[in-house]
Homo-oligomer: A and B are copies of this chain.
């Protein structure tokens, strides 16, 4: 099967990193296609950028020329998943939700460690709408920006591990979700320091997407995620 893994920002290097993570857990017969939006911000850290990403992701996916079996939206706490679900029949998996639903199989409560403080409410809102917030102990910010994550690996690790330890000790988390696509690869260090399992959203989403495809399941088209009604759309990028 082929799974599209769509980055939410326009930084190609992050798309590559995300696709690599996806490939590292994908089944042998799964092809991972990493997509970068054609427009939008170099990193997504707030509502303005996230709404722009929502449209850019929909544009990128719907102009992809080959067939595919599932789509992963690889942004943590971002807008847009419901729109993709309307446009497509194949399953759409958001990494925020995949990380949470995976974590819930492993411990009583989980926490998310993310980048900037300002993105905490976006993640909280997405978890609430997804109905996956009841067992979320906390969403904690490391204070690092998305693009800083790659620049100083030692500082990044320290920042993330510190918040993970706080989550385990103070918030009673028993599992940690890495709240940004750019954090992949930190699991081992965090598990080593905190002793709790660490879930990477992209990796989790690949297994969820493959599972839905193998089960032969599609998005329900009965009400909320019905195909948009045919109507006049004015202006780029969806003119018709």
Q: Which of A45, A79, A204 has the largest count of B CB atoms less than 10 A from its CB?
A: A79
Cβ of A150 under 8 Å from chain B? no
Decide: A107 and B41 in contact? CB cutoff 8 A: no
- Check B102–A224 contact: CB distance below 8 A: no
Complex CA gap A18/B216 in Å reads 18
Complex Cα spacing A204 to B239, Å: 33
Within 8 A of B (CB), among A103-140: 104-108, 117-118, 120-121, 125, 128-135
Contact (Cβ within 8 A) A108 B223 = yes
User: Which of the listed residues A125, A130, A234, A237 has the most CB atoms from chain B within 10 Å of its own CB?
Assistant: A234
> Could you say how many copies of this chain the assembly holds?
6
- List chain B residues, Cβ under 8 A from A208: 105, 211
Asked whether A83 and B48 contact (CB < 8 A) given A107-B225, A233-B40, the answer is yes
CB pair A40 B235 closer than 8 Å: yes
Complex CA distance for A129 and B49, rounded to whole angstroms: 19
A91 at interface, CB cutoff 8 A: yes
Across-interface contacts of A27 in B (CB, < 8 A):
27
Answer whether residue A142 sits at the interface, using C-beta atoms and an 8 A cutoff.
Answer: no
Q: How far is the CB of A222 from chain B (nearest CB, A)?
A: 5
Q: Given the interface contacts A47-B86, A207-B214, does A237 sit within 8 Å of B236 by beta carbon?
A: yes
Q: Which of B52, B224, B229 contacts A145 (CB 8 A)?
A: B229
- Closest-by-CB residue of B relative to A221 is B195
For the complex, is A228 an interface residue (Cβ under 8 Å from B)? yes
The answer to whether A46 has its CB under 8 Å from any CB of chain B is yes
Q: Which residue of chain B has the shortest Cβ distance to A119 in the bound complex?
A: B224
The listed residue (B211, B224, B231, B237) touching A207 by CB distance below 8 A is B211
9 contacts between A and B (CB under 8 A): A27-B27, A39-B234, A39-B239, A48-B87, A102-B211, A118-B224, A128-B128, A131-B132, A175-B220
The 10 closest A-B pairs by CB, nearest first: A39-B235, A131-B134, A207-B211, A107-B220, A47-B82, A131-B135, A174-B220, A108-B224, A47-B83, A48-B83
